[in-house]
Structures are given as C-alpha cells and as structure tokens.
Amino acid sequence: MWYGDPNFNVVLIVALVTSWFLAIPLLIGLWIYRNAQRRRESELIRFAIEKGQTPPNFPASPISKFSTLKAALVWIGGAIGWILMAIFGELYERSGFAIGLIPLFIGLALLIGWLIERKDTAK
C-alpha cells in the first residue's frame, strides 16, 4: 500500500520529527515539575531545621523490584508484535490488523508483569 508511494520516506521522516517535537515539551514539563517538587521539599526541610524541629522524611519514589521485568516484557511484546505485523501484513495485506498486533502484545506483556507482581505481593 504505502511502499509503492514515492513520498513514503518523506511522510515517515515528517511523522518521526513531529513525534519528537511533541515529546520534547512533555519531557521539559516533567523536568520542571520534578524540579519544583524537589525545591518545595528542600524548603520544608530548611524551615524545619531553622525552627529546631526534626525535618520531614519524604519517601523516595516507589521503584518496584519488577520494573526491569516489566520493561523487558514490554520490549519482548513489542518485538513479537512487530514480527507478527510484518508476517501478517505481508500475508493478508491488511495493515490495520497487523498494526493492532503491536499494542496487543505490549498489553499482554504488561498483563503478565502485573500477574507476576501480584503473585509475589500476595505471599
């Protein structure tokens, strides 16, 4: 479908560049938010020390011991989705069906990670 189009590469490049330009403000906003949060925590600690109180103990960001497993499962699910997309896209020439395999397998990978984490926390 798209592969015979002479403008396919241009469309692909524009799509990639546009996605980066949309992601950069999001990352900058997240960085600003985290910096402001750290600044507020530092101010509270400084005020507590100035008043002679014990400084508040802020919990560290929760990091699951399964975060690496989940990331690995997502990458494996995405790769399986891409492989099946290539296979089924060529066989049936239905790109909509084939592209839907990628989020399907990423979702299955996240579900498997959730089940593993749930079993471990139930013990």
Specify the higher pLDDT residue, 94 or 81: 81
Residues 41 and 16 in one domain: yes
Does 28 fall in a domain?
yes
Check: pTM over 0.85? Answer yes or no.
no
Provide the percentage of residues in the chain whose pLDDT is more than 70: 79
Among 40, 64, 44, CA closest to 54: 44
Residues 96 and 111 in one domain: yes
What burial letters (b/e) apply to 18-36, b meaning 16+ CB within 10 Å? eeeeeeeeeeeeeeeeeee
pLDDT of residue 98: 66
Does 47 fall in a domain?
yes
Does 123 fall in a domain?
no
Residues 42 and 81 in one domain: no
Residues 18 and 55 in one domain: yes
Does 53 fall in a domain?
yes
Burial of 82 per CB tally in 10 Å (0-12, 13-18, 19+): middle
Domain that holds residue 40: 1-60
Of the candidate ranges 68-72, 78-82, 88-92, 109-113, the one whose mean pLDDT is the lowest:
88-92
pLDDT at 35 over 90: yes
